[in-house]
Amino acid sequence: MARVILGVSAGIAAYKSASLLRLLREAGHRVRVIPTADALRFVGEPTWAALSGEPVATDVWTAVDEVAHVRLGQSADLVIVAPATADLLARAAAGMSGDLLTATLLTARCPVVLAPAMHTEMWEHPATTANVALLRQRGALVIDPASGRLTGADTGPGRLPEPEELFAVVQALLARLMPAAASLAGRRVVISAGGTREELDPVRFLGNWSTGKQGYALARSAALRGAEVTVVAANVELPDPAGARVVRVVSARDMHAAMLAEAGIADAVVMTAAVADFRPVARSDSKIKKDGSQPDPIVLTENPDILHDLAGRRARGGRQGQVVVGFAAETDPDPQAAQAKLARKGCDLLVVNPVGNGRGFGSADNEAIVYSREGSQTPIPRGSKEALAEVVWDLVAARLQ
């Protein structure tokens, strides 16, 4: 996870930066948006604050006690300004610092990416050309604008590149800067996600509230770290995570078969799925009817323990060096019970996250303590599920080395 500053200056293309922000957040980065005051005429402060989960200011007079105009630039891993208008380029080239964005550009010592967007005449004006040359000479990466349709009917160079392109540039730069970003390059990982369903009849099932968000966050993050990712997804309704192959299953037994098949050659296996421990002994072929008499009790039988079987196969000489990770959803997390569960399941790491009362299942945020086979504990404070995924992969990558 990197600390990224997304500067937004006052161009119509500011709306595209909302998508860029989303991509950065989904990749697990912490993003602070610094718009110029005029940029807020195009996209308002609530949009940036809601999408980033961070406060938004345009001037140097907000949060003065935190000395934001210096601290933000100093602590960033990367700054990207998109769109960068002709005016912003001129002020940056002149070393001005009248607002929070230009002050941040002056204090940043990390890579700075500027993505200009403006009308062709402004881009081709000698003043802009000179400013861009000066900024490049000082080390900024200025991305030439794309050519195409501009605000009105006119076309030419001046378009902001698409958010996916800008995101790819940011990820490539971060991969070079922060080795963690490429720490799973060439590795195969298999992740289970979602909640299994055990059918009672053609219309009813026993299930749980897992949405697959945590599993998909792990998948996206692993793909961005260079891994080949397979997700075994039980009843997940989210869009497929970028860069991952998705195998769909319904029940615990389906997931058992799919996980054992997919995990054979994996370097790491992570079980985030909420798997039903039990299933009804019998499934009715027709809808169970209400006939006025006392309903039959539901008799249950145990499902296979997938995590236990994956760890057991590894222990019996399966894939050399494979890392096996379990998750544990606990309403009252307890260290002794966690360590005992880890030993019972036979995994290397157990990510214990609190659930219930709006926590864990379906939430955007999560927190956990990761227990290791060797007895260590790594607390992960409350944050996005993407941020939690980053810590899990850091721990997995360290074990794979």
Q: Which residues are catalytically annotated?
A: 208
Name residue, tokens 């062709």.
120
**Minimum gap (Å) between residue 195 Cβ and ligand PMT:** 7
- The answer to whether 197 and 158 are in contact (CB under 8 A) is no
- The answer to whether 145 and 112 are in contact (CB under 8 A) is no
Residue 385's Cβ-side half-sphere holds a number of Cα atoms within 13 Å equal to 21
Task: Write phi, then psi, for 391 (nearest 5 degrees).
Answer: -65, -40
**Minimum gap (Å) between residue 278 Cβ and ligand PMT:** 9
Question: Which residues lie below 8 Å from residue 27, measured CB to CB, with a gap of 6+?
Answer: 167, 171, 220, 221, 224, 386
Question: Which residues lie below 8 Å from residue 9, measured CB to CB, with a gap of 6+?
Answer: 35, 36, 38, 39, 81, 83, 84, 85, 87, 88, 101
**Minimum gap (Å) between residue 275 Cβ and ligand PMT:** 4
Q: Given the rule CB under 6 A, which residues bind ligand PMT?
A: 210-215, 252, 271-275, 277, 303, 305-307, 326-329, 345, 353, 355, 360-362
Nearer to ligand PMT, 145 or 360 (CB): 360
Nearer to ligand PMT, 163 or 354 (CB): 354
**Minimum gap (Å) between residue 379 Cβ and ligand PMT:** 15
**Minimum gap (Å) between residue 252 Cβ and ligand PMT:** 5
Nearer to ligand PMT, 92 or 252 (CB): 252
For residues 315 and 298, give the distance between their C-alpha atoms in angstroms, rounded to a whole number: 36
Nearer to ligand PMT, 123 or 216 (CB): 216
365-397 as b/e: b if 16+ CB within 10 A? ebbbbbbbbeeeeeebeebbbbbbbbbbbebbb
Q: Hey, is 329 helix, strand or coil?
A: strand
Question: Can you name the residues that pair with 159 across neighbouring β-strands?
Answer: 146
Nearer to ligand PMT, 162 or 277 (CB): 277
For residues 87 and 300, give the distance between their C-alpha atoms in angstroms, rounded to a whole number: 69
